[in-house]
Structure 1
Amino acid sequence: MRAFSRKLNHLVEVYDADLTLVRTFPVPPRSTFQEPGSEGHTVTNPGDQLIYATDRAVLRVDPEGREQWRFDLGERGPKRGVAYTDVALSADDSLVWVYVPNAMADRGDDAWIALDAVTGELRARHTLPTVGHGGDQYPLRDGRMMLEVGEGQDGLRIYLAGPGIEPRDFGWDDRSLCGVSPDETRFVTVAHDSEDLAVHAFPGGEVLFRVTVADFGFDSDDEVYIEWSPGFLDGETIIAVVRGEDEENWWKHFTVDARTGDIKGEMGISTIDEYDLTPLGDGTYVITDTDGTLRRM
C-alpha cells in the first residue's frame, strides 16, 4: 500500500499501513476561489517527501518543508475561474503527472504534463481541448496514467497517456472515472447525471455491465442518485454509494459484484459524508471517525 495521506487546511498528514501517523508536512492553506493556496498533493514511498501544487507552481519538499525543486505554472489571469491543479506520482515514483487547468486559470490551454520526480524537469507536455475545473488521476503499474477532467455542467472527459504516449481520449463527455481494478483489467465510471454505474474493459473502454438506481431497489422516479464515489474493494467487489434527497439527505453503501454487476447487499456502515470511504483494493477501506481519527476496516 502506498503511504496513505490526507490534506487538512494547512498541513498534509502521512500514515503507514496501520494508519499510524508517521509524518506531517506544512503547506499553505487550502486554495479557494477568493484566496490562492495549496491544491493537489501526493507523497513518495515511504512517505518521506511531499509533492504539491499551488495556484502557480508545483513543488517538492522534504519532511521539514524545505523546497527540493519548483516548477512554475505561471500567474493566473484576471478572468480566472475555479481551477484546481492535480498532481499524482507514477507507480514507480519516477514521474509526477500534473493536470493544469489553464483555461479556467486564464493562462492558455489546459495541459497535462509529466515532470521528473527527482529534479522537477519537464519530461512531457500534452495540450488538452478541455476547460476543466480540476482533475483526478489514477496511476497504472506500467507507467501509464488515467485522467478524469471535470468541466462542471459541461461534463467530464477521460484520458489515458504514458511516457512517450500521446493522450487517448475515450470519447465520452458524460462519465466520471472513479477507479481501476487491482488487476488493471477494468475500470468503473458513474454517469454525469448519477443515474448509473458502469464497469468497462481496460484499455478498450467497452461497457461490461451497467448498474442503475433501480438495481439497488429504488424507484427511478425517486430523488435517488449513484454518487461519483465507487471504488474497487478488491478484484471481485465494488463499493458504491447511493444518495437520497427527501426530508433529509441520506446515503447508503452497497457492495456490487465487480464481474457481473449483481448487488451483493448493503454494508450497513456510517461515514461522515458520501465521499469519506476510500477502498484500497486489497479488501480493506479507510473511513474517518466523527473525532477525525482514520480507521482501516
Structure 2
Amino acid sequence: MRRQTITATEGSTILAYRAATWLMTDPSDRRPDARFPCSGLSRSEAVAPDLRRAVYTTARSVVGVDTDGTVSWRFDLGRREPPGTAWPAFSSDGSVLWLHVPVRDTADGRHGALYALRSATGEVLARAEVGPYGEQPEISTPPDPALALIESAHDGGSGVHLARLDGNALTVTEYDFDHGGGSSVADISPDGRTMAVVGPGPACAVRFRSFPDGALLSTVTPADLGYDEDALVGPLLGYDTGFLDASTAVVDLDGEPAGRLKDALLGCDCDTGYPCHTDGEFREHHAVDVRTGRVLGLLPRGSRHADAVHPLGDGTWVSVHTGPLGTTVRRRHDGPVPGRP
C-alpha cells in the first residue's frame, strides 16, 4: 500500500523519509527528511505525515517523541512475558495513532487489542478487542482519520478488517469479499473513495471496490489486458497496483511468457535498453479506469516494462529499472496518462 512516509532506524534514532525522497534516491545517497532521537532501541515505529512527531514501541510501552527527542508521552502496554511487538500507525492527518497489541500481550491470551490514541497526548480514545491477527498485521490509513484498514495473516487464515472510530466507540469488521479469503488491499485512492483488491491466487484479478463499503465497481483480468490463459505461465496480476489519481490506477501483470508471446519477446528491447523479457520473467504496466475497468493503455516507454512502478497519487509515478550489473535507474514521470485527454 502506498505510504506518505517511510521509516527506518539507525541505532537509537528513527529516520523518516517522504515517499518521493525514498523512491527517487539511491540508498547510498539517501538522506532522511526528519530524525527522531530515542532514549532506547525501537521495536517498531511510526512517523506522522507532517514529520513533526514520531512514536516508537519498547517491550513495555509506546513512547511519543518530538524531532529533538523530547518525550511528550508514554503509554504503558502492561506486557506479559515474553512480550510481543505492538504495531503503530498514524492517521492520514496525524491526529490519531492506531496501535495493535498482539494476542500474547493481552489478558485472555485469545484476542489482540486495537487502540485509537490521541497522537499528541497518548490519551486512549477507544479500544476494541480483535481477533488473532498474527504478530505483524499491516495497518493502513486512508484519508479519513477515523478509519483504518488492518490486514492479517495468521494460523487461522487471513483477512482484511475495517476499523472505525466514532467518538469513544471503536468497531472492527471483516470484509467478506465474494472472491474468497486471501485477498489483500493493494492501495486506496487519494480521495479515499476506492480501493484496489487483489487475489486470491488462481482468481488472478484486480477488483476495484468503493471504500469503505466494499461494493464492487469493476474487475480487471489478464484477458482485459490482451493476454489469454496460454500466454503466461503462473500469471500474477495487480499485486503492485497503485492509484495515479482518484480515477486512474496502474495495474501490473507478471508471469513467465509462453508460446507465441515468448517467441515475440525474444530480442525485444523496447524500453530504453531494458528488455521486456529477462530470465523467464515478463512484467508490464497498464493504466486503468477504476470506475469502469476500461484499460487505457500501456505506460509510456521507460515505464511499461519497469521492474517496479510506484504511483504517487498526484498523477505522477516513479519507475525503477534494475540493470544486469545491479545498477538501478529511477525516473519520475509527469506526462499525460495513457488514454486520458
Q: What does residue range 241-260 of structure 1 map to in structure 2 within 5 Å?
A: 241-245=252-256, 247-260=279-292
User: In the aligned structure 1, how far is the partner of 2:80 from the partner of 2:128?
Assistant: 19
SS in structure 1 opposite 2:246?
Answer: coil
Q: Would you say 1:98 and 2:109 are equivalent positions? A: no
Determine which of 128, 131, 150 is the counterpart of 1:129: 131
2:128–2:170 contact (8 Å) kept in structure 1? no
User: In the aligned structure 1, how far is the partner of 2:128 from the partner of 2:95?
Assistant: 18
Q: CA deviation at 1:115?
A: 0.7
User: In the aligned structure 2, how far is the partner of 1:84 from the partner of 1:191?
Assistant: 28
Bigger drift between 217-226 and 199-208 goes to 217-226
Structure 1 stretches lacking a partner, 5+ long: 30-35
- 1:210 and 1:101, CA in 2 relative to 1: closer, same or farther beyond 3 A? farther
Residue correspondences, number: 283
User: In the aligned structure 2, how far is the partner of 1:84 from the partner of 1:250?
Assistant: 38
| 1:24-74 per-position Cα deviation (integer Å, ceiling 9, x unaligned) | 335699xxxxxx9533523242x1222234565432222133332232335
Larger radius of gyration: 2
Q: Percent of counterpart pairs with the same letter? A: 28
2:241–2:251 contact (8 Å) kept in structure 1? yes
2:192 corresponding residue in structure 1: 184
Question: Higher helix proportion, which one?
Answer: 2
Determine which of 225, 250, 255 is the counterpart of 2:236: 225
Determine which of 49, 52, 56 is the counterpart of 1:52: 56
TM-score (norm: length of structure 2): 0.68
SS in structure 2 opposite 1:151?
Answer: strand
C-alpha RMSD of the superposition: 3.8
User: In the aligned structure 2, how far is the partner of 1:160 from the partner of 1:208?
Assistant: 22
Q: CA deviation at 1:17?
A: 7.5
| 1:209-228 per-position Cα deviation (integer Å, ceiling 9, x unaligned) | 11123322334352110243
Q: CA deviation at 1:283?
A: 0.8
1:23 corresponding residue in structure 2: 34
SS in structure 2 opposite 1:214?
Answer: helix
Q: CA deviation at 1:199?
A: 0.9
User: In the aligned structure 1, how far is the partner of 2:39 from the partner of 2:223?
Assistant: 44
1:148–1:176 contact (8 Å) kept in structure 2? no
SS in structure 2 opposite 1:6?
Answer: strand
User: In the aligned structure 2, how far is the partner of 1:119 from the partner of 1:225?
Assistant: 44
TM-score (norm: length of structure 1): 0.77
Q: Would you say 1:168 and 2:173 are equivalent positions? A: yes
User: In the aligned structure 2, how far is the partner of 1:72 from the partner of 1:175?
Assistant: 34
Determine which of 137, 152, 159 is the counterpart of 1:156: 159
Q: What does residue range 57-136 of structure 1 map to in structure 2 within 5 Å?
A: 57-75=61-79, 77-78=81-82, 85-102=86-103, 108-132=110-134, 133-136=136-139
2:186–2:196 contact (8 Å) kept in structure 1? yes
Q: CA deviation at 1:294?
A: 7.6
1:265 corresponding residue in structure 2: 297
| 1:194-241 per-position Cα deviation (integer Å, ceiling 9, x unaligned) | 611111123321111111233223343521102433221102211122
Q: CA deviation at 1:98?
A: 1.7
- With CA pairs under 8 Å and 6+ residues apart, which has the higher RCO, 1 or 2? 2
- 1:24 and 1:244, CA in 2 relative to 1: closer, same or farther beyond 3 A? farther
Q: CA deviation at 1:261?
A: 0.8
| 1:130-161 per-position Cα deviation (integer Å, ceiling 9, x unaligned) | 433312312333x3213132215723222141
- 1:250 and 1:64, CA in 2 relative to 1: closer, same or farther beyond 3 A? farther
User: In the aligned structure 2, how far is the partner of 1:295 from the partner of 1:21?
Assistant: 20
Q: CA deviation at 1:101?
A: 3.2
2:263 corresponding residue in structure 1: none
